[in-house]
Amino acid sequence: MLRIRGTTYHFRRIVPPALRSALNQREIWVSLKTGYQNEARKRASLLHTKTTELFDETFRVLAEGQNCQSIPHVRDAMRDLHRLLEAPTGIEAVPLPVSRPRPRPQNMRKAPAVVTASKPQSLLLSEALTRFVLKNPHTSADTRKATQRAVELFLQAFGDAPVSIIGGEKAGAFRDLLFSLPASLGKRKSSLTLTEEADRAKKDGRPTLSSKSVKNHMMRLSALWNQLLQRELVKKNPWTGWSFETGSKTIRRSWTTQELQTLMTGDWPRSSVPESTFRIITMIGAYSGLRLGEICHLRTEDLQTIDGIPCFVIQPHTKDGWSPKTDAGTRIVPVHSKLIEAGLLTLKDTPDGPYLIPGLNTSKDGVRGTIFGRSFSTMKTRLRLPAEITFHSFRHSVSTQLRNASADIREIWIDRLLGHEATHKSQGTSTYLSSITTANLRQTVEAISYPDNLFRKGWS
């Protein structure tokens, strides 16, 4: 009963054949005056209730053998229906009268049918996501995942709609909603609507999404709209130019020794990810500064010996659609001696399929380690560790240690190790980056240190 014409949803309901003569129409076609699916469904639900009442009353009157147009109950039902259609919601009825064939002179030939081209349907947001992101072979797995998450939140809040009618009003409403949602959204199962999630977060005083998270969601939608602009499917990009300073801002920082001890002595939550995998990933993060996604997507072929030194090779895997976050992310990271002592090199002998790290599932969109990330966050919350530290904080810890280490370690070596863009992108810098020896990178990695027995359990 819900149809979309152009950018607008319509309500259509067939009048039962037995009532068409009495009501003088064969169907009710209503413009719902909205392109948002959720709003259209609400309005269509009201219309369905009223038309059902009208049909039931008309059936009753006809069964009693009365003239339905003269019965007050039927007249009232018709009046209520048309009052609803003319309500301030902007719903407007377009009744279609019963068609009666006109007599045609015998000498007149039947005119040939005129075929009119149907107006192309506007592209829905869900369709744009699939076409330009999910099915785009050049889009990385991280981009697909992040864009899909942003679009799904919008659809959950406002319903599907043609991209051509989504403007600044909805973009602003979405931004405001994001700032009110709890920071734990998506990390646990919930049957609440987004509005109910926001209300509960406000009532309980829970932390809400950070400015960075809100900005990331808006940027993903903006990137999608840039593609739509280039194809002239929309006239403007409503996702640009917004301020993100009104939300709570969490500044990430390094782990302290006490916080690391709390983490490593805490109980890993029951999860499909085994505790041994938690310890493997955590140690690699602490002794290399690799991003979580980089660790989880390591393949056995990415553990190589280069210049006689065991190394992680962070490189794109085109078959999986995964690639490092930036161009600088493609790099070589020597394996720390503490990881070798813990038995990391033996992982290559007992692989989990093509992957180096065992015990991780790959999501439908090709992202590996999603459940680990949620479990790690759950553990951190249970241990009452502050929001300022996350798994990404291991990169902060490594960077801080190395920049405070011996003067023999050059800053450009640190940037190369962590996959940061060089501060000065001159031709000389680019040439030097490509000539940094594996021995210098190993010297840099070995400067990372932690108190003895901090990772005493290892993963065996």
Residue 427 has pLDDT above 60, yes or no: no
Residue 434 has pLDDT above 60, yes or no: no
Sheet holding 331-334, edge to edge: 303-306, 309-314, 331-334
How high is the pLDDT of residue 114? 52
| 427 or 436, which is more confident | 436
163-200 tens-digit pLDDT: 999 999 999 999 999 999 988 887 666 778 888 888 88
Summarize the chain as % helix, strand, coil (round to 5).
50, 10, 40
Mean pLDDT value of segment 274-295: 94
Confidence bin at 52 (pLDDT 50/70/90): confident
How high is the pLDDT of residue 275? 92
The Cα–Cα gap between 179 and 209 comes to: 6
> Token digits for 248?
């709570």
| 443 or 252, which is more confident | 443
Between CA 275 and CA 285, with CA 279 as vertex, the angle to 5 degrees is 140
Confidence bin at 23 (pLDDT 50/70/90): confident
Mean pLDDT value of segment 18-43: 81
The Cα–Cα gap between 212 and 417 comes to: 25
Average per-residue pLDDT for the chain: 81
Mean pLDDT value of segment 277-298: 94
Mean pLDDT value of segment 43-66: 80
Confidence bin at 87 (pLDDT 50/70/90): low
Q: Which residue has the tokens 């990009």?
A: 237
238-258 tens-digit pLDDT: 999 998 875 456 678 999 999
Residue 318 has pLDDT above 90, yes or no: no
Q: Under a CB-based contact definition with an 8 Å cutoff, are residues 252 and 393 in contact? A: yes
The Cα–Cα gap between 140 and 99 comes to: 55
- Backbone φ and ψ of 298, nearest 5°: -60, 135
Q: Under a CB-based contact definition with an 8 Å cutoff, are residues 248 and 201 in contact? A: no
Residue 97 has pLDDT above 50, yes or no: no
In this structure, the dihedral spanned by the alpha carbons of residues 45, 49, 50 and 56, taken in order and rounded to 10 degrees, is 150
Q: Under a CB-based contact definition with an 8 Å cutoff, are residues 29 and 95 in contact? A: yes
Burial of 353 (0-12, 13-18, 19+ CB in 10 A): exposed
Residue 205 has pLDDT above 60, yes or no: yes
What is the phi-psi region of residue 96: left when phi exceeds 0, alpha when psi lies from -120 to 50, beta otherwise? beta
- Backbone φ and ψ of 354, nearest 5°: -80, -10
CA separation, residue 444 to residues 222, 404, 406 (Å): 39, 12, 10
293-315 tens-digit pLDDT: 999 999 999 999 999 999 999 99
* Weakest mean pLDDT among 117-121, 205-209, 383-387: 117-121
The Cα–Cα gap between 413 and 422 comes to: 10
- Backbone φ and ψ of 11, nearest 5°: -105, 130
* Weakest mean pLDDT among 24-33, 90-99, 307-316, 443-452: 90-99
The Cα–Cα gap between 48 and 32 comes to: 12
| 118 or 23, which is more confident | 23
**Beta bridge partner(s), residue 3:** 10
Burial of 230 (0-12, 13-18, 19+ CB in 10 A): exposed
* Weakest mean pLDDT among 90-94, 240-244, 295-299, 417-421: 90-94
Helices within 165-268 (DSSP H only): 168-180, 194-204, 211-230, 257-265
* Weakest mean pLDDT among 148-162, 207-221, 341-355, 375-389: 341-355
How high is the pLDDT of residue 113? 53
The Cα–Cα gap between 252 and 213 comes to: 13
CA separation, residue 397 to residues 322, 418, 450, 451, 456 (Å): 26, 12, 10, 13, 19
The Cα–Cα gap between 424 and 243 comes to: 29
How high is the pLDDT of residue 37? 80
